[in-house]
Structure 1
Amino acid sequence: LFYEVLDRVSQDYYDKSKIDATKLLHGAINGMLGSLDDPYTSFFPPKQNDEFKDQLAGEFQGIGAELSLSPEGRVMVVAPLDDSPAQKAGIRAGDLVLKVNNEETAGWTVARAVEKIRGPKGTTVELSVLHEKQKDSVTVKIVRDVIVIKSVQGWEKRFLCEKDCQENKSGDLVAYIRLSQFGDKTNNEWISTVNSINEKIRGQKNFRGIVLDLRNNPGGYLNDAVFIASEFLNSGVVVIQEDASKQQEAINVSRRGTLLDSPLIVLINKGSASASEIVAGALRDHNRAKLFGEKTFGKGTIQQAIDVDRGASVHVSVARWLTPDGEWINKKGIEPDTKVEFDASKSSKLKSKLDNQLDAAIKELLK
């Protein structure tokens, strides 16, 4: 049937200039996968496949935003990357991208959206964006740049907290680890950051705990999520994987961590998705951490990237994942133990360089 239709269209279509065998084939593949009504099962043509791999490797050119499809099938921002042109332009987790360069995005795949939005450093893309809980869209012009992703950053500082927290040499010591994605370099960057923090906090009697920041972390590799969670858990299940035959596999702590006993608060928000939700869910279910912030994205499936002919790839949802307690968070997300909505106006008034959510987490550790 497929080849019959392809032959008839190729032979009989009135405008031969529009007949491109590759585009017809890619369109057919997108249609087939689209019938599954799964935004995470998708086809990546060669160019988009290379760009996806570049992002996981930590460097690409574009605006720096992780994209998906909303439940209604609209192009949606999962999270802007840290210090990216998208973040600096005011793009937020949960934004709907209605137009790209005045072209409607209705019916687009994620791969098509990525193709249209990405581009060389120094070029400009215009997006029509609808923020959550807003009635009217806004138009944003963003200059593309080289995006270099350092997936792990950390510091240790001393704070005194009264009305708000301020750095003070006589204050109590808090460590902060920011994890922005789970990519090719994440584990090595994590080890380096944690080793540095351990050197600074070792033997400090007034060390009060750690803030793990998973906000706007769109996810990445499952194995990396298990590696990170194992830093904080002595033993037990990190995540349960359930395949198409409903067979479940419990994936356990994979190594001996070095931050097993430190008080821990995890920051989450609507941009925390997939692998970051695996980490947050595991730490919550083991009562190892308190979750602060806002409800997470709600992506509860696992994809396998399969390289196919001519440099393309197909990303297929091969399993769903459950938290250690057996909860499937897909389309629901994970609720924080303490809800703290991000407030830009409050954050700008803080004397420290903290935002209001991070300020609340540090206050909790210093109680």
Structure 2
Amino acid sequence: MSRLVRGCVWGWLAIVLWSGSAASVVAADDEYYELMKLFVDTFEQIDRNYVTTVDRRQLVEAAMRGMITKLDPYSSYIDREELNDFNTVVEQEFGGIGIQVTIEPKSRHLMVMTPLPGTPAYKAGIRAGDRILEIDGKPTAEFPEGREMDTAVKLMRGKPGEVVKVTVLHEGAAKPETFEIVRAIIKTPTVLGDHYQSDGSWSFFLPGEDKIAYMRLTHFSRNSADEVEQTLVQLQKDGMKGLILDLRYNPGGLLQAATAIADLFIESGTIVSTKGRNTEEQVIKARKGGTFSGFPMVVLVNRFSASASEIVSACLQDHKRALVVGERTWGKGSVQNVIELEGGKSALKLTTASYHRPSGKNIHRFPNSKESDEWGVTPDPGYEVKWSVEEMEKYRDYRAERDVLRSSGEPPHSDFKDSQLAKAVEWLKRELTKPASDSGKPAEPSKDENKEKTNSSSHAPGKPDRTGAGSLWPLHNIHAFLRVRLG
């Protein structure tokens, strides 16, 4: 290493050591200085004496990734190329196959969190919980440590019309299965109903039930809050009496979308708070006005409901606005700040805090967390409905059949009984037969209030404007970006 390069490195270290609010602490930390010196000395020895010439950037980036692998599965270094992909994920439009992948915390296996409805992967038969073994013949077990998901996403994405081979092991299966999937532009709505009608629109009312509405939210993206709000306005016009919000298999997404959706259902109080070691506690509260009330509500969750899904379900449960039915959720309640590096050419996604529900309880499931510990969102007492692997398989087939557009507009007959949904309907029917004073339902809104809400086109009165680009959190504040990637 030349004196000039070495001087630049030590100059950079001096800036690091003395910059920011930590200068007084770092200056007195001899261990910190010695460790940084060790890093520079090692870098210099490799650069000068390794048997072949090394790529300095690759060497430094490898060292950074190595450091981050000692933290948690949700922190990562985002290089120049990956930063474009990261921003694409936030925009929710790219060429790919439409599956969200994650790392199972204990086994470190690459898994499918969920295939997005209507996408090539969904149509091919990829399922939530599938373990991904190979992508285009490349074994996932050989992917670089700390870059498993990034590598998988890079291989799955590409030019629309091209084919990618994905080999998976279905949950409970003995042998793997290989799919040849044609890439497409992945851009899907996040709010879905029970089944397609003949005109291609979703039916949001359950067949055979008296005006009980059913709304599925696949993930939380830029337009999710507007989609939910517009659907609610139409459902109220159509005489909705009760609502089921299905967050099963929803892996999460943007914090702003989660808080805006929760805000639609509560009049006041805390939605979520974040707490960290070196960050001030942030408390996000509901704003008065524009609240959809006057009907009982159930939120459906399962073991694959994560992050933003847990924010919404925990908020509505703590405020007693909705009953939570299903299974205990995933337990992803950590906050990632995206910190720009090199003037925005690369970035560091670093876990800096954790989410806490309005009650103050913890959401995050740590690697050493036990089943008896406090994490995730647990269904209300008497309303936990656990599914076996076989039941999940049957549900996926059942759901896939109902997500096919049919000329008749009628949902297909199925012998499968969604016991979690049935439990939700059972509670709603019981609530709807009670007098308003006994059921605990919010009072029916006045005619003027209904008129005001119905006339709201882009955002509810008194709520934050969700239509403009500035309404979203800046990139470095997208706390709810999951350790989940979309390919």
Gaps of 5+ in 1: 160-165, 202-206
Pick from 13, 18, 30: which aligns with 2:50? 13
Which shifted more, 181-190 or 335-344? 335-344
Distance 1:246 1:328, change over 3 A: farther
> 1:299·1:330 contact (CA, 8 Å) conserved in 2?
yes
Answering whether residue 176 of structure 2 is matched by residue 152 of structure 1, we say: no
Picking from 94, 97, 104, the partner of 2:129 is: 94
Q: Hey, what's the Cα distance between the residues in 1 that align with 2:234 and 2:340?
A: 38
Q: Which moved more, 1:66-75 or 1:316-325?
A: 66-75
Q: Does 1:328 align with 2:352?
A: no
For the residues of structure 2 that align with 1:316 and 1:7, how far apart are their CA atoms?
A: 27
Q: TM-score, normalised by structure 2?
A: 0.65
Is the Cα contact below 8 Å between 1:152 and 1:178 reproduced in 2?
yes
1:195 to 211, 233, 242: 233
Structure 2 residue corresponding to 1:30, chosen from 65, 68, 72:
65
What whole-Å deviation, never above 9, does each CA across 1:84-136 have from its counterpart, x for those lacking one? Answer: 22222333333332332332323352222222222221222223323334454
Note closer, same or farther for the CA distance 1:352–1:152 as it changes in structure 2 (3 Å cut): closer
Q: What SS does structure 1 have at the residue aligned with 2:251?
A: coil
Describe the SS at the equivalent of 2:74.
Answer: coil
Q: 2:353 aligned to 319, 332, 336, which one?
A: 319
| Bigger RCO (CA 8 Å, 6+ sep) | 2
Question: Which residue is equivalent to 1:365?
Answer: 428
| Contact in 1 for aligned 2:266/2:291 (Cα 8 Å) | no
- Alpha carbons 2:168, 2:178 under 8 Å: kept: yes
In structure 2, what is the equivalent of residue 139 of structure 1?
Answer: 178
Report SS of the residue matched to 1:232: coil
CA, structure 1 residues 255+146, in 2 after alignment: closer, same or farther (shift >3 Å)?
Answer: farther
Aligned match for 1:272, one of 296, 305, 323:
305
The structure with the greater share of residues assigned to strand is: 1
Secondary structure of the equivalent of 1:234? Answer: coil
Seen in structure 2, the aligned counterparts of structure 1 residues 277 and 173 have a Cα distance that, compared at 3 Å, is same
The reply on whether 1:53 has 2:87 as its aligned counterpart is: yes
Give the aligned residue type for 1:29.
M
Which residue number corresponds to residue 259 of structure 2?
A: 226
Shift of the alpha carbon at 1:323?
1.6
Tell me: CA distance 1:259–1:215, structure 2 relative to 1, closer, same or farther (3 Å).
same
Residue 352 of structure 1: which of 397, 411, 432 is its match?
A: 411
Contact 1:285 1:324 in 2 (8 A): yes
Code of the aligned partner of 1:327:
K
Larger gyration radius, structure 1 or structure 2: 2
Structure 1 residue identity aligned to 2:156: I
**Residues 22, 145 of structure 1: CA spacing in aligned structure 2 closer, same or farther, 3 A cutoff?**
farther
Kindly state the Cα deviation for residue 226 of structure 1 after the two structures are TM-superposed.
1.5
Q: Which moved more, 1:75-84 or 1:211-220?
A: 75-84
Kept in 2: contact 1:80–1:216 (CA 8 A)? no
Q: Which amino acid counterpart does residue 348 of structure 2 have in structure 1?
A: V
- TM-superposed CA distance for 1:197, in Å, is 2.3
Gaps of 5+ in 2: 1-37, 194-201, 366-374, 403-409, 431-487
Match of 2:152 in 1: 113
User: Match for 2:164 among 125, 144, 168?
Assistant: 125
Separation in 1 of the partners of 2:215 and 2:122? Answer: 20
What corresponds to 2:444 in structure 1? none
Aligned length: 350
| 1:365, distance to aligned residue in structure 2 (A) | 2.8
CA shift in 2, pair 1:196/1:47, >3 Å: farther
Letter in 2 for 1:188: D
Q: What is the alpha-carbon distance in structure 2 between the residues aligned to residue 46 and residue 120 of structure 1?
A: 20
Structure 2: distance between partners of 1:352 and 1:152? 18
Instruction: Answer 1 or 2: which has greater helix percent.
Output: 2
RMSD, aligned CA: 2.8
> 2:264–2:291: 8 Å Cα contact kept in structure 1?
yes
Q: Verify the 8 A CA contact 1:62 1:144 in the aligned structure 2.
A: yes
Q: Equivalents in 2 of 1:229, 1:330: separation in Å? A: 19
Paired residue secondary structure (1:172): coil
How far 1:318 moved relative to its partner? 1.6
3-state SS, counterpart of residue 339 of structure 1: coil
The Cα of 1:32 is off from its aligned counterpart by 1.5
